[in-house]
Structure 1
């Protein structure tokens, strides 16, 4: 039996209202005790890990990943690179797998990863092929409500939600038809529907209809149920939380009042200007997804997949490659004025609740599986820049050091982790 004592860190566990300098005792794969434990009989003989000056948190949960590696071409990243080797113990793959490809996702990603992997199954038969570079694969005829419902319910141990898109390119082609089918999947499974907002596909060159981007939000709102998730509130692309006039969409408040949730879905379309507008309007996201994928993250393409961009006409939609992580997304929000204490629940207890897994994830409760993230925490000045070129100063820098996943240690060595630019 292996016993480890994480000693002297700032333990923040929102689910249990804990924020104090404490110790966390891990015995094999379980949390054995939390408190002032150094020198006590229960901690005798434990391996001591000094966490002084560090944050000790419930294992971080990334609610927006793209990790169906190889099957989704350049789009899908390695789960453990985005997960345990970036200080994240649980990842939600957003729409990579479909009712057709979920068995492969379970066998080749979920079952082989050190990270815990959850699926928000795609509302489309093809799943997340090449990051939706091929719009016609996502037309209404390519969605099978009955098959998707059947797959989600038969795999309810790993499928915790449904992924769909409400964006300008799709609405110009098919109107609400695809979203209506996705909403039916959400209703029949009782699972949260996670909706992408902000333009993804270019508008069709011919045969499409004119769509006012500001009409998308109200059209979709009437299809949704409490607990469904509005993603990308800080997107720089039209058709989301910020109207064409530069003001927050007037129906955002109504959406929140109806019980809809908001996920950051950081990604490369994250805009500091848009984020400031939305936050100033009093909209605080519930969860924090990093939205890393092969188009916005500096990582080599999988073997056999071309490195070059074969879609130059869509460069404006996937502009910019970078090194980032869920933890650097946390830093982005702090640079916008949010407090650490507001952000940690987004990546722990709130995320666990979204997944319907509060009894398993997002807490350092005694007896729980030992999923724990340890971060460094420094004060100073660091320069951050988004893909619009807007620069902000982060007064605080968090970096992942290591995590325990079911009690096993993984150091934060991922190649995608950013190198902070101190001023």
Structure 2
């Protein structure tokens, strides 16, 4: 669409901020949303020089937001090309989850954010070097918090204060193997909490196989996760099945501490990743009507060809689980916008705003879709990206051509025995 004006017609507009769910049109002129919902006669606008996109049988949404990706391509082993794997799949804004720390953030900003079409914001890692080395990124032993001299609260808070346009919060990983076999976890957690509170920004916590308990326990110096999190903080990797799961492996129910934290406003984020989504855990949550507040991918170099693939397929998993459509849409638009403090500019189709718009279609399918440990479910419907505009400019959609990926599923099976929450029978690795 080469003209300055375009109309997206006849689609189902779902706009949760203003409680809109209707068939209608969205009219854009020179990157600004002019009207939402009202049917438009193209001959009466811009002297008829207006492009038309027919969105019949489709959803018209505010540009999708992925709250958890790893975007520091080339500088970290996890980094991906966000224009290729996010914008080309309908995601207009991504939030990097701790790939950079205070010492490495300038490179993320200059070489990735400023050179990408996709809007990039970030959670700053409490470790000054972020996830700069392979051992610090899940591909080997050792971690970013093995040495406390790298966990500098002052460096973190100073960097955030100087870059409020780009940094939306603090990130910490609570896993024993990234903090000298757990020796430093408590202190790292305290420092991350301190940095976030000093800057009045949310803390995103990765909590898997950790020495920090889920439930409040005596003798742990008052530390638990999500017990120490405040309203607006983010608990990511919600549905993993390893130790530190939100699921009690004996009763097969969501732990009371989790329900209580969500009630007080802690944000539970999917953060699917390479190891952090279990069909079993998510199904237990669904039975209790425990749904994620935000749906994100944790997309990185190790999962773009499965088991994640893209944000649409992560959303499709929750459609399969029975999560209401309105909640799914909120979880990739208005809620992540609120988490990152961008509700005035992102997450909702509003007159006068910059035109970030995604068109999706829910299509019938018959896919055997894996989780992170090779457990599969038969998906009958999925979200399919149809069109995307970022800042009023249309970008091409590139659809997935390698899903399902049997190699990805078989690789996941190798981790199945480590799970605490899992299906009764081990999936085949053949």
2:168 to 160, 170, 181: 160
Give the alignment's TM-score, normalised by structure 1: 0.86
Report the alpha carbon displacement of residue 48 of structure 1 after superposing the two structures with TM. Answer: 1.0
Corresponding residue SS for 1:220: coil
Please state how far the C-alpha of 1:96 moved relative to its aligned partner.
0.8
Hey, what's the Cα distance between the residues in 1 that align with 2:283 and 2:120? 32
Note if 1:327 corresponds to 2:312. yes
Deviation of 1:168 after TM superposition, in Å, equals 3.8
Report 1 or 2 for greater relative contact order, CA contacts < 8 Å, sequence distance ≥ 6.
1
2:17 equivalent among 15, 18, 31:
15
Q: Which residue of 1 aligns with 2:390?
A: 405
- 1:306-331 per-position Cα deviation (integer Å, ceiling 9, x unaligned): xxxxxxxxxxxxxxx44611111110
- Asked whether the 8 Å contact 1:198–1:239 carries over to 2, the reply is yes
Instruction: Give the one of 191, 205, 210 matched to 1:195.
Output: 205
Higher mean alpha-carbon deviation, 349-358 vs 29-38, is at 29-38
Aligned to 2:144: 137
* Partner of residue 32, structure 2: 30
Distance across 2 between alignment mates of 1:249 and 1:161: 26
Residues 325-378 of structure 1, C-alpha deviation per residue, up to 9 Å, x if partnerless? 111111010111112222000000111101110000011101100000011222
- Look up the match of 1:230: 235
Determine if the alignment matches structure 1 residue 378 to structure 2 residue 363. Answer: yes
1:103: Cα distance to partner? 1.0
Q: Which moved more, 1:217-226 or 1:140-149?
A: 217-226
Q: Distance in 1 between matches of 2:216 and 2:374?
A: 27
Query: In 1, distance between residues paired with 2:236 and 2:249?
Result: 18
Q: Which runs of 5+ in 1 are unaligned?
A: 201-210, 299-320
Distance change >3 Å, CA 376–CA 175, structure 1 → 2: closer
Please state how far the C-alpha of 1:62 moved relative to its aligned partner.
0.3
Structure 2: distance between partners of 1:248 and 1:58: 32
Counterpart of 1:308 in structure 2 is none
Q: Distance in 2 between matches of 1:272 and 1:27?
A: 43
Residue 253 and residue 151 in structure 1: after superposition, are their counterparts in 2 closer, same or farther (change >3 A)?
Answer: same
Q: Is 1:50 aligned to 2:54, yes or no?
A: yes
Q: How many residues align?
A: 387
> In structure 2, do the counterparts of structure 1 residues 340 and 157 end up closer, same or farther at CA, with 3 Å as the change threshold?
same
**Contact 2:355–2:389 at 8 Å: present in 1 too?**
yes
**Paired residues of 1:23 and 1:38 also in contact (CA < 8 A):** no
Mapped to 2, the partners of 1:214 and 1:16 lie a distance apart of 36
1:364-375 pair list within 5 angstroms: 364-375=349-360
SS class of match (2:193): helix
Q: CA deviation at 1:254?
A: 2.1
Q: How does 1:9-408 map to 2 (within 5 A)?
A: 9-34=11-36, 35-39=38-42, 41-42=44-45, 44-73=48-77, 75-129=78-132, 130=134, 131-132=137-138, 133-139=140-146, 140-169=148-177, 170=179, 172-199=182-209, 211=211, 219-245=224-250, 246-269=252-275, 270-298=277-305, 321-322=306-307, 324-408=309-393
2-side partners of 1:261 and 1:136: how far apart?
25
Please give the TM-score of this superposition, normalised by the length of structure 2.
0.85
For the 8 Å contact 1:331–1:397, the answer to whether it is kept is yes
Number of the residue aligned with 1:207: none
SS, match of residue 256 in structure 2: coil
Q: CA 1:383–1:357 in 2, change beyond 3 Å: closer, same or farther?
A: same
Shift of 1:164: 0.6
Q: Could you give the per-residue CA deviations for residues 184-228 of structure 1, whole angstroms, max 9, x where no partner exists? A: 01110110000002238xxxxxxxxxx586568962344322211
Give the C-alpha shift of residue 247 in structure 1.
3.3
Q: Deviations over 1:289-314 (max 9, x none)?
A: 1111111223xxxxxxxxxxxxxxxx
The two structures, once aligned, show a CA RMSD in angstroms of 2.2
Q: Distance in 2 between matches of 1:137 and 1:9?
A: 46
